[in-house]
Structure 1
C-alpha cells in the first residue's frame, strides 16, 4: 500500500459508523467540484470534460478547488470523475454534449447487442487514470480531509447504456426489464462485477470512503427495485468487503445513495451491506431514522434548491435538518449533505453560508 500523509480530520469516517457520537455532523456536498465554481469553469474553458476525468493532474486540481475555497468548512473531498466511465470501460462510447449532457451514440438496442460489450474489463488498464488521480489527490490533500471515491450503480448505468443518455420516461430501459428480465439481470450483474473491481481499485489507490450512486432508483417500482436493483447493491457490498478483507484493508466505509428509494430504507439498512444510506429530500429525517433503526448511518437530506432561497432560508433549513437528525441532542450517525448534487447556478458564497450553518447547528449539546 502507498504511504500517505497522516489524516487530520476523520470526522466523516467516525460519523459513518452507526451509533457513534461525533462533536458535530461532518459535511460535504455531491458535485462539490463542479460548474458552480468559477475556477472549475476556467479549467473547462480549455479542456473537454472527459479529458479532465482522464488527466490525473486536472482531476486532482478540480477535486481540490472546493477544499481550498472552503478551507476548514468541508470534511471530505470527492474525486472528480463521472459515473459513465464504466460504460466506456465496457466498450461503449460516451460523449459530453455541452447542451444535452452525456450522450451514448450507439446504445444497446436489444440483448443481441450485449456481445458488443467487453467480456472482461481490466479496470487497471481501462480506468487506471482514476486510480492515479486518487493517489495524486491523497498526497496533495496532505491529510486535510478524507477522499471519497465513487461509482455509478448498475441500474443507473444500464439505463444510460440503453437509453443513450438521460430520459424522462425510461421507456427503453424499462422495456428491457419487462421484455428481457433474464438478460437484464445478466447485464446488471456484469456491471456490478466491474463496480466491485473499480471500487476496490479506488480504495487501494487511496480512497478512504466510497459511494455508490443509483441516481435513477426512483424510476423503479418497489417490486422492480427489489428484483433488479437491490440485489446488485448486496453483491457489490459483499464483493468489495471480501476483496478488502483478503487484502487486509479495514475501516473503509461504504456509502449507498439510492435516490428516491425511500420505500426501501428499512430493508437496505438491515440487509444491503452498506454502512451509510444517502437520503434525498423526500423523506422526513425522523421517519428515516426510525426506518433505519440505528443499523446504518444516514446522509443528507436537504433539498438542493434551498441554496437559491437566500441565507435566511438556508439557515432555517440547516437548523431544522440538524435538529431532526440529532439523537438526544447529540450528533450521531449523520453526515450532512444535500439530497442530490449541487446545481450550476448556485452562488458559491451561499454554499459557504450553508457550510457555516452546518458547523453552527450540528454541534452536539
Structure 2
C-alpha cells in the first residue's frame, strides 16, 4: 500500500450519531406528531384509509345462496355472513387497511425491526354446519410492503362447525402481533380481513356462518407500531470536498456502518483485500465497491481490476452530465470488481 488507508474520526462520528434523530412518521391524516425511530418508540394509528366488502358474482347457475358483508371504519368493525341453499356455495369478505411510512432521520437512513400489533380485538360469531356441509370463517391480519407486495400474515381466528349444533365463537379484547424488518422509505399496509364461506353438504344440508346479525361482528381498537431495535446508520450524506465515499450497494445508500468506505484526495489503496469492512472481521472491501460519491475538490477517481493498480482501469470525474460526481457501477462491468483505487 502506497499511503495510509482512510481513517475515521471516532469522536465527531460519535457526536453526530448522538445528535441524529430518526423519525417514524405516519402519512397525513393517520396520526399526528413525530415519533423517534428508537427502541420502544410507539405510533398509534387510529384512522383507517381503506375498507372494502365483496361477495360472490351472481350467475344464472348459482343464485340460491344469501349473505352480506360490511366494513365500518368509524366504528372499526367488520361484519360478514353467508348462508348456502341446497346445491350452492358462497363466500363473503370484509376488509380494512391503513398504512404507515418509515422516513429517514435528518442525517441518514434508518433500518431496524418493528412489531405491528392489532389490539383490543373482539369477535362474536356462529357457525352451523350440519352433517357434511362446509362452513368456515377466517380472520387474519396482514402486513405487506407497498413496494414489492411481500408481506407477513397472522391468522387470528379460524372458525368451523362440527355437526348440527351451532358453534359459537367469542373473544373479548385480545391482540395479535407480527415482527418485520423495516428501512427508511418503506411503506407498509396493515390490513384486517374477515372471510366467511358456506356450502352444501353431501345430503343437501346447507351451512350458515354468521358474523353479521344482531351483536355478531369483529371489532378492534387500533394498530400499534413499535420499533424494537435499529441499526445505527452513518450520519454522513455528502462527502467533504476532499473525500470520496465508496459504497457496497448500487444506490450509494448508508445501509449500515460498514456500507461506506471513505478515501481522501491524494490517497491510494494498493490492495482492497487488506481493508476490512469492520475492524476484527474477515470481510474486506475487495470486489465490493458498487457506487461512489466524489467531493467537490476531487478531480478524478481511478479504479483497477486487480491489486497493485493492475488489469483493466476506469476513470470517474465530475463531468457536465454528472456534476454531482455520483456514479453507480451497476451494469457498467465494474460493479464488485474493484481491487485497487487512486483518488486525485
Is TM-score (shorter-chain normalized) higher than 0.5?
Answer: no
| Larger helix percent | 1
If the length of structure 1 is used for normalisation, what is the TM-score? 0.20
If the length of structure 2 is used for normalisation, what is the TM-score? 0.21
| Larger strand percent | 2
Higher normalized contact order (CA 8 Å, seq sep 6+, divided by chain length): 1
